[in-house]
Structure 1
Amino acid sequence: MTEDPTAAAGEQGSQWYDTEAGPLVRPYAMTGGRTKPGPTGVRFDLIALVTLDPGAPGSPAADGTGLGPEHRTLVDLCHAETQSVAELAAGSDLPVGVVRVLLGDLLELGRVRVSRPVPPAQLPDERILREVIAGLRAL
């Protein structure tokens, strides 16, 4: 008895399709095969805050055209309020690596602004803060 080749192919392909979730789209398909955000090598920390810059003059994507659906999802999530990279990944249901690459695109287009967290080395020393508190209490 010979085996039907289309049935075997359907069984092999079934691992890439979930009837409840729909077809699986690989992350590299969303980023064009890129794994790093932009040519500048910008690194987005999970707690970096992303703010939409709607008035970016001269931006080729100021009206949203030319953006992929994933880019538009991130822009829509930023419309309401400033979001961290982690919040954007959760809200868009995309892997953090994909979100970082897409944010790099939006940053290059001038659609978003990113404020990076302050490095711990630049934060004031706890001893100094305690002395300030003690000084304020003494007043």
Structure 2
Amino acid sequence: MTPRPRPGGRLVRSYVVTDGRARPTRNTLDLITLLTAADDLPPTGLTPEKRRVTELCRHGALSLGEVAGHLALPVSVTKVLVADLMDSGHIVTRTPSPGFRNPFEQGERPSAVRRFDAGILQEVIDGLRARL
């Protein structure tokens, strides 16, 4: 079965977007890596997808997962694009905060999530409900 093209868009295969590469040039990116656009480099010579990443990150830091969502691309493809933009100096990355530790990446059990502040989680839930 052939997938229907999205309204207002064309279907571009992931390997075309990444120039046939399946892995990023860096292994330091995860879903919560924060991305910001470098102010001093114009987006000339970038592919449309890479240009869109820089445009998204120009107004403030976004996580890699958020950028993938905005682009409607798989995270693996977005990692390749972001790594290329880091190599060219168009994107700067940082971790969310110096003390943050993702328990799932450390091989810990999901029960480690209980260490997070329940009040903050409740505020997030309330905020999301208010937007619906």
Query: TM-score normalized by structure 2?
Result: 0.66
SS at match of 2:93: strand
Q: Deviations over 1:78-103 (max 9, x none)?
A: 01110000110111221111110000
Match of 2:32 among 26, 47, 54: 47
Q: Quick check: which one's helix share is greater? A: 1
Cα–Cα, structure 1 residues 88 and 19, in superposed 2: closer, same or farther, change >3 Å?
closer
Alignment correspondent of 2:95:
116
Cα–Cα, structure 1 residues 42 and 21, in superposed 2: closer, same or farther, change >3 Å?
same
Cα–Cα, structure 1 residues 20 and 112, in superposed 2: closer, same or farther, change >3 Å?
closer
Q: Is the counterpart of residue 107 in structure 1 residue 94 in structure 2?
A: no
What amino acid sits opposite 2:11 in the alignment? L
Alpha-carbon offset, residue 25 of structure 1:
1.0
Cα–Cα, structure 1 residues 20 and 113, in superposed 2: closer, same or farther, change >3 Å?
closer
Structure 1 residue runs without a partner (length 5+): 1-13, 56-61, 127-139
Alignment correspondent of 2:5:
18
For the aligned residue pairs, the C-alpha RMSD in angstroms reads 2.3
The percent identity for this pair of structures is 35
Alpha-carbon offset, residue 20 of structure 1:
3.6
What amino acid sits opposite 2:67 in the alignment? L
Structure 2 residue runs without a partner (length 5+): 104-114, 116-132
Cα–Cα, structure 1 residues 20 and 44, in superposed 2: closer, same or farther, change >3 Å?
same
State how far apart, in whole Å, the 1-side matches of 2:10 and 2:90 are. 30
**Structure of larger gyration radius:** 1
Cα–Cα, structure 1 residues 119 and 54, in superposed 2: closer, same or farther, change >3 Å?
same
Alignment correspondent of 2:51:
72
